Amino acid sequence: MVTFPFEEKQLAENVFLRCFDPNLENDELKWHIDKEDRLIEPEEKTDWKIQLDNQLPTSMNESISIPKHMYHRLIKGTGNLKLKIHKS
């Protein structure tokens, strides 16, 4: 059984709300790829960051587009992280 470092709720056909707990261990947030393009929208201001392959970590305070098959990871901040994810 696969476990994920977030809780997820489906909002619409291709839209999901993911919540990440600040008590996660850093090693739970692994580099990974997805099979579809994604648009990530933070639900509130945060100091969590995202890092895309061959790029420096960036703020999660605006929408971010992640092309399918691009390696990326989250970098833990303080407080909860809530993301709306649009898969296409």
Question: Does residue 2 lie in a domain region?
Answer: no
CA dihedral of residues 49, 77, 16, 62 (deg, nearest 10): -40
Question: Does residue 24 lie in a domain region?
Answer: yes
CATH label of the domain that carries residue 11: 2.60.120.10
> Is the predicted pLDDT of residue 10 greater than 80, yes or no?
yes
Domain membership of residue 72 as a residue range:
7-87
The pLDDT score that the predictor gives to residue 3 is 82
Nearest to 31 by CA among 69, 58, 2: 69
The pLDDT score that the predictor gives to residue 72 is 97
Question: Does residue 81 lie in a domain region?
Answer: yes
Question: Does residue 56 lie in a domain region?
Answer: yes
Total number of domains constituting the chain: 1
Question: Does residue 1 lie in a domain region?
Answer: no
Question: Does residue 15 lie in a domain region?
Answer: yes
- pLDDT, tens digit, for every residue of 31-70? 999 999 999 999 999 999 999 999 999 999 999 999 999 9
